[in-house]
Amino acid sequence: MPNRIYVFILIEYIIALLSECFTLSIFGALLFATIRSKSARYSTSMQIYAIVQTALSISVILYFVYLTTVWQSTEADAYFIYFTGSVQTTLFIMSSLSVCILGIDRCLAVKIPTRSFNTSCFWGYIVVNIVFLAVNLVERLFPAYPATPITHCQYFGCLLSDYQNTIYYILRACGSLINFVVGTVLAVFLKRVTITNRNMVKSSKMVIATCFITVTFDLLPHILSVIAYQIFNFNLASYIGPYSTVIGAIENGICAFFYRTTFKCCNKTVDSSTSNLPNVHNTPNINNETTVR
């Protein structure tokens, strides 16, 4: 492999590590604030999203730290790549589904503001995850378990067959399709429903942005991979490394940045007001200033 390709791959690793460190700092701080709070500050769907993002950040950081240590090596620990790769790709699937639940929670909160759907969203997320993860484990991860401890592969996708990688692409695409539908429905609801609470408007718009960012970054690398393989008959990752995970890390960093801005704005609004405004992503109760027409 030419030296310039090695340098490009190293730059990818660094970008992914910086993105995930930033994501970990934002969502880790959110979880820490939730644990310290005497009352639930964020909705169940928001807490699920934060937990998945935190776990995903840690797994991706471990994955890329190891890949950096074997950057130009011809051999690597197959088991370490397999287990860290399995965890982070599984969490990417769960992350996409958590965005979906986040969007559904916002849709219900906007459309039916007098009820709480925390329990329904939680169990809905569990059921959908069971289906997706069962397919992921049976069709993809279990058959890909390495036969030897040493591999010449430099990334997780290299350990898998084309069929197993295709299963991953399909699962991510399904999650993207669901998020696209949910984001579109939420956008329509926001146009048809009059909401006087600025925090709810900001958080709902943030969920819409998250849905469409997730759709874009989920589909982009996998569409590129399919085009490269079907038309040009080569594996794109063989030339530019684990680009799918790198793009996923950048996606997480972008979402973390927008959530950081939204949290700051909403906290300032709450601190400067004496009214009982709802917290970010909390399902509103009957006393909140939300009117439906």
What distance in Å separates the CA atoms of residue 258 and residue 109, rounded to the nearest whole number?
21
Any domain includes 173: yes
Any domain includes 285: no
Any domain includes 99: yes
Q: 21-47 burial, b if ≥16 CB within 10 A, otherwise e?
A: ebbbebbeebeeebeeeeeebbbbbbb
Residue 282: per-residue pLDDT: 45
11, 248 in Cβ contact below 8 A?
Answer: no
User: Which are the contacts of 209, defined by CB distance < 8 A and separation ≥ 6?
Assistant: 258
Average pLDDT (79-87) is: 94
pLDDT at 292 over 60: no
Average pLDDT (22-33) is: 89
Higher pLDDT, 85 or 46: 85
Residue 202: per-residue pLDDT: 75
User: Which are the contacts of 9, defined by CB distance < 8 A and separation ≥ 6?
Assistant: 71, 240, 241
Any domain includes 88: yes
Using the structure block, give the residue that is written with the tokens 């601190």: 271
Structural domain for 111, as ranges: 3-271
Mean pLDDT highest for which of 9-13, 61-65, 74-78, 234-238?
A: 61-65
Residue 94: per-residue pLDDT: 93
Query: How many C-beta atoms surround the C-beta of residue 160 within 10 A?
Result: 21
Average pLDDT (266-271) is: 52
Higher pLDDT, 41 or 81: 81
What distance in Å separates the CA atoms of residue 48 and residue 24, rounded to the nearest whole number?
14
Q: How many domains does the chain have?
A: 1
Here the CATH number for the domain that contains residue 74 is 1.20.1070.10
What distance in Å separates the CA atoms of residue 293 and residue 190, rounded to the nearest whole number?
11
Distances (CA, A) of 177 to 39, 74, 124, 215, 253: 35, 38, 17, 7, 21
What distance in Å separates the CA atoms of residue 265 and residue 273, rounded to the nearest whole number?
13
Mean pLDDT of the chain: 81
Copy the structure tokens of residue 147: 């036969």
Any domain includes 137: yes
**Each residue of 144-187: pLDDT tens digit?**
999 999 998 888 988 888 888 889 888 988 888 888 888 888 88
Copy the structure tokens of residue 255: 């979402």
Any domain includes 82: yes
Copy the structure tokens of residue 1: 């492999």
Q: What percent of the chain has pLDDT over 90?
A: 31
pTM of the model: 0.82
268, 198 in Cβ contact below 8 A?
Answer: no
